[in-house]
Amino acid sequence: MIESFWSKINESRILQGDFLTDCNVPVSPPNYSAKQPEEIQVDVYDLIVVTQSCDLVNNKAKLVAACPIYPISEFEKGNPDFIKRSKWNEVRRGRFEGLHLLGSPLQPSNNSIALVVNFREIYSLPHDYLIQHAVSLGERWRLRSPYLEHFSQALARFFMRVGLPSEIPEFK
Amino acid sequence: MPTLCKEQPTTFHVFFAEPVPPPITQGAEGKKLADMSRGIFHDCLESWKHWIREDEFDYSPIPPKRSFTMYARYKIRGRGKPPSYQVENFE
């Protein structure tokens, strides 16, 4: 029996690890001005909040950072090599620093419906918008401890990477 | 302080000599042989490409669930002011 990574909540407060479905992410055109209304593209993503909870609770962040989160079946459609080359076990062990796996909220023991977070894409959205959106969602999922801290650490590892111009040759 | 190190590869690597070896002879037969060997080389390269440079395996971003367009007017408010930071007194 695998315990759930998530707890079900229904509140307006946003915390780190909150899973917010169908968030609108406006994309600014390359050239824009304030002269007249312009047509802009809005992309819709499922996002997981990465801003620290203490900053959110104390209103220290006007903008909330969040990363896209996908069912792995969706991710595989764009990255078929992940199926062919059995890469999910490497992601599960934390060997892909840009990706992080989280169990399915409803069936944590079923890894075929697990969720994957892409740390390479981070969107900043207004705190007020996300609060309003969270209220409109009603019941939603929030990452539980210690899965939350594990997730946060994975994000930190993504940022703390250091690339070297050269390295010790591989031992063969 | 922990340091993030490159993981040891879990798969073996295959390295091909590059560039493709030149034809052994300059004659028509030699050219034919060289073309044939080059074809075999590329076939091998294609079939073994999953094993080559395994450390450079990467992934692509996934497009959004859906997109739509809307009209918006930008309001340029100028340079933002720094937020007030409370300095705690640790005396």
Please tell me the predicted confidence (pLDDT) of residue B14.
46
Judge whether residue B2 has pLDDT over 50. Answer: no
Indicate if the pLDDT at residue B15 is higher than 50.
no
In a domain, B52, yes or no: yes
Domain count of the fold of chain B: 1
Nearest CB neighbour to A32, from listed B4, B69, B74: B74
Q: Is residue B67 part of a domain?
A: no
Q: Measure B1 CA to nearest chain A CA, in Å.
A: 12
C-alpha of A150 from chain center: 13
Is there a cis peptide before residue B19, judged by omega within 30 degrees of 0? yes
Task: For residue A19, give the nearest of A121, A107, A133 by alpha carbon.
Answer: A133
Q: Domain-by-domain residue ranges, chain A?
A: 6-27+41-159
Region of B10 please: left (phi>0), alpha (psi -120 to 50) or beta.
alpha
* Closest CA–CA distance from residue A63 to any residue of chain B (Å): 13
pLDDT tens-place values along chain A, 172 residues long: 789 999 999 999 999 999 999 999 999 888 888 888 999 999 999 999 999 999 999 988 999 999 999 999 999 999 988 887 678 988 998 888 899 999 999 999 999 999 999 999 999 999 999 999 999 999 999 999 999 999 999 999 999 999 899 999 989 8
Q: Which residue of A has its CA nearest to B56?
A: A96
CB contact under 8 A, B71 and A75: no
- Structural domain boundaries, residue B32: 20-58
Q: Is residue B73 in some structural domain?
A: no
Establish if B86 touches chain A: CB-CB under 8 angstroms. Answer: no
Q: Do B61 and A97 touch (CB under 8 A)?
A: no
What's the pTM value of the predicted model, to 2 decimals? 0.76
The reported pLDDT for the residue numbered A51 is 97
